[in-house]
Structure formats: C-alpha cells, structure tokens
Amino acid sequence: MIPHDQHTIEGTGTRLDRFLLNIYPWLDRATVADLLSSGSILLNGRPAKKGAKLTTGDTLDCRAIPEPVDLRLQPNPSLPLAILFEDATLLALDKPAGQPTHPLRFTETDTLANALIARYPDLAAIGGERLFPALLHRLDTQTSGLVLAAKTSVAYAALRAQFRRFAVAKHYTALVHGRVDKPSRLEAPLTHQTRSPCKMAVVKNLAKVKESHRFDATTAWVPIETGQDTSLIDVTIHTGVTHQIRCHLAAAGHPIVGDTLYGSPSFPSTTNHPLSTNPRHWLHASRILLTHPTTGTPPPLPSPPPPTGL
C-alpha cells in the first residue's frame, strides 16, 4: 500500500480517472472508482470526483493506493468447491446460484474464483487476468451450473481459442413462461440498453446502433417438458454475449421464470411448476461440448440438476 503520493499536474483537459489509471497502471477502473468514492484522492485539497478535468497547476494527494501485491485475488478456503470432473489439465466446477463467478474488486472474497485458488493456489497465475484466473467463461450470479477452469497455461490457451472460434457448445436448462412445444432459435444482435447499462436489448434497427456497440448472438432451444403455464427447455449457445439467453428468450415471448429484469413476474402464483417458487431466475448450465486440449476428444462435462429438480 502506498500511504501518500502527491502529483502536480502539467497540461489541461485530462479526466482524473484516466490520469490515475495512467500513473498507477496496475489499478483497474473499479478500484479507481472505489478510491474516489472513499475520499482517498484529493484534488487541490478537496475530495475529487470521477469525472473531474485536470488543469495545469492542480495538485493531487493520493492516499492508501493499493500496490500490485495488494490486488491479488484472495483465497477463501471457507467456501465449498464442487468438482464435477478433474484431470491433469481441466477442471469442471458446479457453481451454485447466488455465487458470483469471480470478483469485480480485490476486496471481494465470496466468489467461485476465491474458492478455486484456495484449493488450487497455482491457478492464480494462469490466464493473465488478476481477478479472473484460470476460468474459461462466466455465469451470471443467479445462474447455476457448469464452469470450466484450465490447470495449465497451455490448456488455457488451447481452450480459450476454442471459445473464441465459437467451437464450444454450451447447453443450459431453463424454466420459461409460456408453452414451448417445438424447437426454435433466435439469431439477433444484442446491445447494452442506454437507460440501463446492466441490461441488454435486441437490436431492431442496425442503422441506429454502432457496429462496435452490438454483438452477434444466436440462441437455439428445444422443449424438454411443456406445462400449462411454463416449459422446461434445453438451450444451446456458441456465443457468450452478456445476458444472451435471458434477453433472447424474453424477446421470443418466453422470459425465464424469476428473471424480473427481463419480464418475469415476481414469483408468479399462476404457475404450477414446483421450480417457480424459488427466489432466482431458473437458468442452469447443464453441459458443455468441447475438445479436450490433451486427448482431442470431448470430455464428459455434465452438471447434475440442483436439488430443486432443475
């Protein structure tokens, strides 16, 4: 930790948060935002704001700045780690609903990544992302199921290449509103909603959304069990856009039960499916089809349903 660091500004117009990222390149945006909100950064003797513009002659007092050693992912041995498959190069983990896949800040310790490096300390050095080591993909916090991790740098590179080529088929089980009695698919780009950056939307007019702000995505599904008000379906994606399945299913008229962000009523009393009484969106990562980096064959990577029956 750097207890106190002072800077005198030369030049005009630079945003304060960008200046801090430049002089402390090991910090990330979330950590800089935390430093600013906590009052650790003083601009001309007063607590600074994120969007402040710097001017020649301004003085910055930076206090309690984390050093690289302070920003390591912290192991949390008290967290359980459910292992579905393991060999010399690959781990398949079963993430419970409600647990984040990885932290957004180094102070967070209750994620799957914290549990992973507590059991496998060497994996903290794999992958190059300090808060996202060894893990090959993410699940939303309330999505349960299968998450993969590489145990070697060579395996990580090979498996990440498969994800980038869209050569990995990810299967999910979802409980959705409405009757789904035949296979279907939706191929539609997604973008971040302007009014809610944490929510995605289907792009309806390509001309109105910059190419860099839209993400191609295809979601396919087949029914497993069709009820009066809800259906249990198997969903397949090869892409991995934020909230892809949740947004696409909602756009198709079948929001996931419990997913109030995308149109599901809160714990609907009208549904008679036993899963609908549980307080989370009902999406479970059930299978992943890929090529093993060593054997060249698909490894067995199913995730059993949670106790509720999903």
66 or 235: whose pLDDT is higher? 235
Catalytic residue of the set 122, 140, 216, 259: 140
Q: How confident is the model at residue 277 (pLDDT cuts 50, 70, 90)?
A: low
pLDDT at residue number 82: 95
Is it the case that residue 307 has pLDDT exceeding 50? no
User: Residue 245 and residue 214: Cα distance in Å, rounded?
Assistant: 16
pLDDT tens per residue across span 139-167: 999 999 999 999 999 999 999 999 999 99
Tell me: the pLDDT tens digits for 164-195? 999 999 999 999 999 999 999 999 999 988 77
pLDDT at residue number 308 = 40
The verdict on domain 2-71 having CATH code 3.10.290.10 is yes
Query: How confident is the model over 103-145, as pLDDT tens digits?
Result: 988 889 999 999 999 999 999 999 988 889 999 999 999 999 9
83-168 and 171-288 in the same fold = yes
CATH architecture of residue range(s) 171-288 = 2-Layer Sandwich (3.30)
> Which residues of the chain form beta strands (DSSP E)?
2-8, 41-43, 46-47, 59-65, 83-86, 90-95, 144-150, 169-177, 184-187, 190-192, 200-202, 218-226, 230-237, 283-289
For residue range 10-50, what is the model confidence (pLDDT) as tens digits?
877 888 989 998 988 888 888 888 889 888 999 999 998 87
CA-to-CA dists, residue 215 to 31, 122, 202, angstroms: 27, 34, 10
Give dist(CA 43, CA 261) in Å, integer.
38
More confident residue, 15 or 279: 15
Name the 3-class secondary structure at 38.
coil
Residue among 100, 107, 135 at smallest CA distance from 34: 107
Q: Name the band, by pLDDT with cuts 50, 70 and 90, for residue 309.
A: very low
What CATH code is assigned to 83-168?
3.30.2350.10
User: What is the per-residue pLDDT across 227-276, written as a single tens digit (0 to 9) for each?
Assistant: 888 999 999 999 989 999 999 999 999 999 999 999 998 654 555 545 44
Q: 310 or 304, which is more confident?
A: 304
Closest Cα to residue 216, out of 236, 244, 197, 235? 244
User: Residue 279 has what pLDDT?
Assistant: 64
Residue-level pLDDT at 182: 95
Q: Is 140 a catalytic residue?
A: yes
Give dist(CA 300, CA 127) in Å, integer. Answer: 23
pLDDT of residue 306: 57
